Amino acid sequence: MDSSSQVLHLLCSFLLITIIFLILKPLKKAKPSKSKQQQQPPLLPPGPRKLPIIGNLHQLSSSKLLPHRRLLELANLYGPLMHLQLGQLQTIVVSSAEMAKQVMKTHDLTFSSRPFNLAISTIFHNLDLVLAPYGEYWRQLKKLCVLELLSAKRVASFLPIREQEVARLIADICGKQGTATNVSRMIHSLTYRTISRSAFGKLYADDLVDVMLKLQENADLGFTLTTNSVKAILLDMFVAGSETSSTLLEWTMSELIREERVMKKAQAEVRAVFGKRGKVEETGIHELNYLKMVIKPLLVPRESLNQCEMEGFQIPEKTQVIVNAWAIGRDPKCWSEPERFYPESLDTQKKSQYDDQLYEI
């Protein structure tokens, strides 16, 4: 037997042993006590039939649809509160505004944590704000960011940076003189430059790095702000402040181009508010009520801290919860024309509801 055949034989043997181990591992459990034998299994939300080891992964990967579309297709069969088994990870998929409200408001404390992710944990050391698990460190860090980094005074101090970068973008577009322009690339550059100057710029006093380093020396902070914590927060600022912002701007502009009527109405509102001023200023943005209706929120995965009950079903501890915002925004029960970009549909909602808690969007 030559060396290549030996290697192939060893590889096949290793794969066979691994498969047998994975199959037998779930069966190897300690003998349950009488109390556990009498305990009924939790009543989970409905969901598609699962296979050993992989659960429902094959029903997502085998479909030609993108994941959010496939999840909506499954939700149409099993309901707006659906249970999936993604490998060893229990997952609840929420596909309606009513169920999203229960996750985000009624049981907000239960679902306040984020699911564990090895890649995220390696990069951020579980020390960031967006994806870190819920706990005392996260609460203290959120308080610090809200009061020190994202306060109205701090955001206002970076106004010159935003104005200069927007003016630079407009000048770049005007300089193309009617030629084809990659606006997406320009928008990405705008957001990255703005965040970079806010975090590391030296033209203005107390950039974000300066603020974090000063807080690190504060003995009365209440918790330890390490160098890894500072790095994780700055990474949050770049990812959440640049990538999501540029993507939102890009898709908003594409929808406005598709709906000429909506774009003209938004343009008319901007000109009515800022026409006499000569330029767009942040102080007048609160007057752009129609433009506000164009903006859509983004939802991230959550994880249950403990068991809870929703619609008569039991949601086990450590269950990942995915809110399918794409499906909710196209729910025919909430919108008369769910596939149409029609901002005026928000006018039918109560004014008191038009805020971040409007779960239909």
Phi and psi (nearest 5°) for 82?
Answer: -125, 140
The residue extents of the domains of the chain are 27-115+301-328, 117-258
Q: Is 327 exposed, middle or buried (0-12, 13-18, 19+ CB in 10 A)?
A: buried
Q: Evaluate whether 311 touches 81 at the Cβ level (below 8 Å).
A: yes
When the candidates are 3.30.465.10, 3.30.43.20, 3.90.1210.10, 3.40.50.300, the CATH number that belongs to 27-115+301-328 is 3.30.43.20
Q: Evaluate whether 325 touches 97 at the Cβ level (below 8 Å).
A: no
> Three-state DSSP class for 281?
coil
How does pLDDT run across 152-199, given as a tens digit for each residue?
A: 888 888 888 888 888 888 888 888 877 888 888 888 888 888 888 887
How does pLDDT run across 58-116, given as a tens digit for each residue?
A: 888 777 888 889 999 999 999 999 999 988 889 999 998 888 888 888 887 788 777 77
Residue 220 tokens read as 């009365």
Predicted pLDDT of residue 77: 93
pTM across the whole model: 0.61
How does pLDDT run across 12-54, given as a tens digit for each residue?
A: 666 667 666 666 555 544 445 445 445 677 889 999 999 988 8
Q: How many CB atoms lie within 10 A of CB 62?
A: 8
- Give the strand pairing for 89-94 and 320-323: parallel
Of 146, 159, 136, 127, give the one whose Cα is nearest residue 281: 159
How does pLDDT run across 254-300, given as a tens digit for each residue?
A: 888 888 898 999 899 989 988 878 788 888 888 888 888 776 544 55
- DSSP letters for 181-248: --HHHHHHHHHHHHHHHHHH-SSSSS-HHHHHHHHHT-TTSSS---HHHHHHHHHHHHIIIIIHHHHH
- DSSP letters for 149-160: ISSHHHHHHTHH
Predicted pLDDT of residue 161: 87
Of 84, 118, 87, give the one whose Cα is nearest residue 25: 87
Calpha distance 35→99 (Å, rounded): 33
